[in-house]
Amino acid sequence: MNIIMSYIDHKAANISERELFTFTSSEVCKLYKRIKDFKDILGGVLIATCNRTELYLSMKDGKFYDPFELICEIKEQNTDEMSRVKKTLSGHDAIRHLMLVASGTESQIWGDAQIISQVRDAARTAKEEKTTDSILNVLFRNAISAGKKVKTNIDFNLSDNSTALKAVSILNEKEDINKVLIIGNGVIGRLVGESLVANKFEATMTLRQFKSGAISVPRKIDTVSYADRYKVISDFDAVISATMSPHYTLHYEDMKDISKWPKVFIDLAMPRDIDPRIVENDNFEIQREIPQYYDLDMISRDEVMESKEDHMFEINEIVHEFEQEFYRWYDYRMTMGGIK
């Protein structure tokens, strides 16, 4: 068994640096196709979320390849220049890291409620692309099980342990915020919408006209065409944008002549949805109140972390349990003639 992984996350890379390593669906396919070109790589799984990009490789025994080189190749980044923001782990350290990631302890918002499904989706995509081997399949299955047990057994004592809930909690602390425009109808956008309704906000969600099939919109939420977002934005006190678009959903050039702006802009996307120039003082040609702006790093910066020490011992015990289960499986397979 020879597991090697590289990652870029919120601990070493700021939001501008992490944006360089976000993967579109086509880039994920390109990466997996490239992995198949290496005879010494038996399998690979990419985890790509708002706060981390991680590539796990299962290598032939005695072989080494830095997964970060593959990441940089697909993203057309200079490996030497960007190596300062990455970390590479192997063997036990790589296995334990994955278990902790799935448990939510490595997330920017500690105890992140969304990370288990993100790890599960990553493993499923790799399996669909036929780039996993039995070692990675079982490793990720055990990591997901560890994450589930942590989520079940540990009371993180966090009422807002996701970016969506954190965004709504920020609005709850503001005065005179009633009407909120949600840009994006994906998983995060819907979570935001449900939380806004539960907290008595008036919420409206943008919908793109070209989308086909059934569109899910949470109850009690109005809708507006995405194409009309600039026409209606003056009607709202706050905007929360959470799409998977590689481009801005709100451009400064399209906003600058609008006389009335929302008081708060919250950007939950990676790469960012909202043009940062919108809140730069020098760009205010029309006299208006400077809005408040939050990106992913900002909404997590003031998180209360007191519960960490109280829970890490128990979390480590759970992680150790599933590590040992993985190693027992591997040892058994080896006694049966190796892993196919």
pTM: 0.81
> Looking at residue 317, which CATH number applies to its domain?
3.30.460.30
Query: How does pLDDT run across 58-88, given as a tens digit for each residue?
Result: 999 999 999 999 999 999 999 999 999 999 9
Claim to verify: residue 15 and residue 143 sit in the same structural domain: yes
Claim to verify: residue 53 and residue 116 sit in the same structural domain: yes
Q: Give domain status of residue 340, yes or no.
A: no
Claim to verify: residue 264 and residue 176 sit in the same structural domain: yes
Claim to verify: residue 197 and residue 295 sit in the same structural domain: yes
Query: How does pLDDT run across 79-119, given as a tens digit for each residue?
Result: 999 999 999 999 999 999 999 999 988 888 777 778 999 99
> For this structure, is 50 an active site residue?
yes
Residues 103 and 153: their CA atoms lie apart, in Å, by 11
Task: Quickly count helices (H) and strands (E) in the chain.
Answer: 13, 10
Residue 273's domain comprises 163-301
Claim to verify: residue 54 and residue 173 sit in the same structural domain: no
Largest CA distance in the chain: 75
Claim to verify: residue 52 and residue 114 sit in the same structural domain: yes
Residues 171 and 177: their CA atoms lie apart, in Å, by 7
Residues 114 and 118: their CA atoms lie apart, in Å, by 6
Query: How does pLDDT run across 120-156, given as a tens digit for each residue?
Result: 999 999 999 999 999 999 999 999 999 999 988 876 6
Question: What mean pLDDT is predicted for residues 170-199?
Answer: 92
Claim to verify: residue 239 and residue 125 sit in the same structural domain: no
3-state secondary structure 11-69: CCCCHHHHHCCCCCHHHHHHHHHHHCCCCCEEEEEEEECCCEEEEEEEECCCCCCCHHH
Claim to verify: residue 228 and residue 252 sit in the same structural domain: yes
Strand blocks (E) in the chain: 3-9, 41-48, 52-59, 87-90, 179-183, 202-207, 222-225, 238-241, 264-267, 292-294
Catalytic: which of 50, 113, 168, 188?
50
Q: What percent of the chain has pLDDT over 70?
A: 90
> Looking at residue 248, which CATH number applies to its domain?
3.40.50.720
**How many domains does the chain divide into?**
2
Claim to verify: residue 119 and residue 241 sit in the same structural domain: no
Claim to verify: residue 135 and residue 191 sit in the same structural domain: no
Query: How does pLDDT run across 190-248, given as a tens digit for each residue?
Result: 999 999 999 999 999 999 865 555 677 888 999 999 999 999 999 999 999 999 888 89
The yes-or-no verdict on residue 339 having pLDDT over 70 is no
